[in-house]
Chains A and B, each alone.
Chain A
């Protein structure tokens, strides 16, 4: 990567962060900031999902297990220890820890199989979790569990949730960026490209995959805990929601699977759009149809996602310019392949 490229990216990231941080100061409409909190929670979950599924190529449709586990952890712990107000946020690392504790055995079982079978096992985990939450008494059965009520001012009610979600998102994105360039990230991507060959070259697939699975689960659990405190209630079919799985997948695919900014972009575009449409038409079935249409449109029309496609376009334009300035046409062809290889990875 060139120095100016890095500077551009760093500047862009800071600009996005500044806009997100200033958002609740500029907009005080509670309906809009509620959508803001939702969006950031989903963005963190989508980036976390991508750290595992995007980098390793193992598509998980069971991350709602960790989301719901985080939600129930915060609910049960806050009830047991009589926590209320701001101290409930302290439980978020615990939510992440419980999700990690679940991810280790689930990963050890599921990561033995690949492709379709892996996807189906994650779906099976999802249903086991939902049924278990419905059947146990500690989770409150089908009526679920209530969150303690926050004790801060109603006028800025959403702000603490918003900044907690933003902090989680920033930390997750930083982790995603660090992992992608690290030895660990390279091993994950080698597994995605060809697991057997990666194993032949000295990567030990199981620990690598499991580590990514656990990292991803920790963030998803924390996002679930935060979401629970914000919504105020967890019942089995919403804490363990198949549409949650679908949503994070759509976000990651829309922006670009396996990229750093792709899932973020996907979440920032799709979640507000979906919330807005739901509010606008107040018909939940329509939003379901729209999510399906959107998913199909992304898969069929933009299978690689916005970020890689755009990166290719920009690289192609730059290469065309470069070849125009270069005298020999044949020499100017060379940068295209190089630029594309680099662009495809972003």
Chain B
């Protein structure tokens, strides 16, 4: 029993790294554009299919393939923002942008169904099935590599946000868009690039999801987005540190419940969310919402 618990915690933390990366993209988009990109789930699946195509048809290694899929997803993200999010104006922009993102998700899902069909596919590589013996546990190699990659990506995002000029303009836009515009920041450009970055991380998340989930199909997006939404709300919308903490907390809690009831493990995600929000409506690390004028 004790051993199972340690293993569950290890699984939760390693798996949480990948969810953290995907959630950071989502919360970054929220912070800058004030929208929830509900298409993030299906974009992760799209990233997984891109990795699948590269590895099955072109025999490119999954990690090497990221050199292609990350820029591709960046371009897709900028295009989505340009076509569907940027034109929205007016009072109902909040709900409108959410629905526009939902429309994008439906279109991508339908397209993936038409191209790949409903059958589950898996990503294959030697390091997915092999594992290392570490501290008395057998840990799959892919989890270790994926966790390292996720940590590196999150660190790179942090450095970008806190050490570069562009990062400073992103943070300024997150704090106050009008003020950012007044001091000469090109808010539209910041929004487009941020959306692109937020979507580009789904290439990494998608590859890891495809390699560790034991099979995915176009319908997998719903499960992903619901978990990601739970994570970013629990962490507090717009809080990057909150997203990291919530991701690890949620995946660990799920892995622990999974020990005695795999059926109910997923429900823990949402139950934890509901429980936290009844006590703290702004989430664990969120700021209380400022009244919009």
Contact = CB atoms under 8 A, between A and B. Distances in A.
A binds B: yes
B110 A289 contact: yes
Contacts of A249: 99
B94 A123 contact: no
Interface stretch (B59-67, B130-138, B155-163, B269-277): B269-277
B102 A121 contact: no
B62 to A, nearest CB: 27
A47 to B, nearest CB: 18
A49 to B, nearest CB: 13
B277 A117 contact: yes
A121 B84 contact: no
Contacts of A125: 270, 274
Nearest to B263: A135
Interface stretch (A22-30, A34-42, A106-114, A218-226): A106-114
Contact of B267 (A123, A131, A246, A291): A131
Nearest to A196: B291
B227 to A, nearest CB: 9
Interface residues of A, number: 40
Contacts of A123: 226, 229
B233 A132 contact: no
A309 to B, nearest CB: 13
B278 A299 contact: no
A339 B150 CA distance: 57
A59 interface: yes
Contacts of B278: 109, 112
A57 B274 CA distance: 21
Given A288-B106, A289-B106, A299 B100 contact: yes
B52 interface: no
A112 B277 contact: yes
B98 A116 contact: yes
Interface stretch (B13-21, B69-77, B85-93): B85-93
A120 B281 contact: no
Contact of B107 (A117, A119, A283, A289): A289
B10 interface: no
B92 A124 contact: no
Nearest to B114: A285
Contact of B103 (A57, A134, A295): A295
A288 B110 contact: yes
B106 A124 contact: no
B102 A295 contact: yes
B99 A124 contact: no
A124 B146 CA distance: 27
Contact of A116 (B100, B230, B237): B237
Interface size class for chain B?
35 or more
Contacts of B94: 115-116
Interface in B262-293: 263-264, 266-267, 270-271, 273-274, 277-278, 281, 283, 289, 291
Most B C-beta atoms less than 10 A away, residue of A109, A116, A132, A249: A116
B222 A242 contact: yes
Interface string B107-150: 10111011000000000000000000000000000000000000
Contacts of B267: 128, 131-132, 135
A90 interface: no
A132 B268 CA distance: 11
Contacts of A114: 289
Given A135-B264, A289-B106, A299 B96 contact: yes
Nearest to B90: A303
A246 B264 contact: no
A127 interface: yes
Interface string A288-307: 11011101100110010000
Contacts of B92: 57, 257, 303
A286 interface: yes
Contacts of A229: none
A253 interface: yes
B95 interface: yes
Given A116-B237, A242-B222, A303-B92, A124 B107 contact: no
B105 interface: yes
Nearest to A134: B263
B281 to A, nearest CB: 5
Given A116-B98, A135-B264, 13 more contacts: A113-B277, A119-B36, A124-B230, A124-B270, A124-B273, A125-B270, A128-B271, A285-B113, A286-B110, A288-B113, A289-B110, A293-B103, A299-B100
The 9 closest A-B pairs by CB, nearest first: A292-B106, A289-B110, A292-B107, A295-B103, A296-B103, A288-B110, A285-B113, A59-B95, A124-B270
21 contacts: A109-B274, A109-B278, A113-B281, A116-B35, A116-B98, A117-B233, A117-B237, A117-B277, A117-B281, A121-B233, A127-B226, A253-B99, A286-B110, A292-B110, A295-B106, A296-B100, A296-B103, A299-B96, A299-B99, A299-B100, A300-B87
